[in-house]
Amino acid sequence: MRLHVKVWYKAEGDLFMAKVNLITGTKLKRALNNLPQDELVGLIADIAKACPQAKEYLTIKFADEKDTGEIFESYKKKVEHEFFPPRGYGRLNLREAKKAISDFKKICSDKKLWIDLMLFYVKTALNSTAPTAATSENRFTTALLACTIMLSKKSTLPIWPYTYCLPLA
């Protein structure tokens, strides 16, 4: 599997896209196997410093439940911020809220936390549009159904007890 980076550049008024070949997964594994342990530890530390998502992944992988809970709460705040920002009105930018959910899914292997974040998204969306229930009913009912269908396809955990526990505050 080759990884590509798309690079946009401008030449004579036209936009061109060039592909930059990155190292494949197999070559990366071979190169990492050939590194001494101290260099490998340094490389992982450098990656954690350079990429915040990698740092969160390593924290969830090697830390206790308290740290995992803190990261989970930070992603809940990201979702909630799209509907209830500290100042002003919510932007209802569903793309950003869904991106937070997919980013959390990439770094956390605990399916229950991922399901809780998805249901928190639906609950927050429903709470944000409670005053205008007539316009939001179709939009967010379909969001709830889409989340339920997605969970039923990708998870072996029971779904229906979770969906009945969505109190509207």
Q: Give pLDDT tens digits for 67-106.
A: 888 889 999 999 888 888 877 776 777 788 888 888 998 8
Output the pLDDT for position 39: 92
C-beta atoms surrounding 58 within 10 Å: 16
114 in Cβ contact with 129 (< 8 Å): no
Q: Which portions of the chain are predicted below pLDDT 50?
A: 1, 159-169
Would you say how long the chain is, in residues? Answer: 169
Residue with tokens 């549009």: 129
d(CA 147, CA 129): 18
pLDDT at 14: 55
Q: What is the DSSP letter of 103?
A: H
- For residue 161, what pLDDT is reported? 47
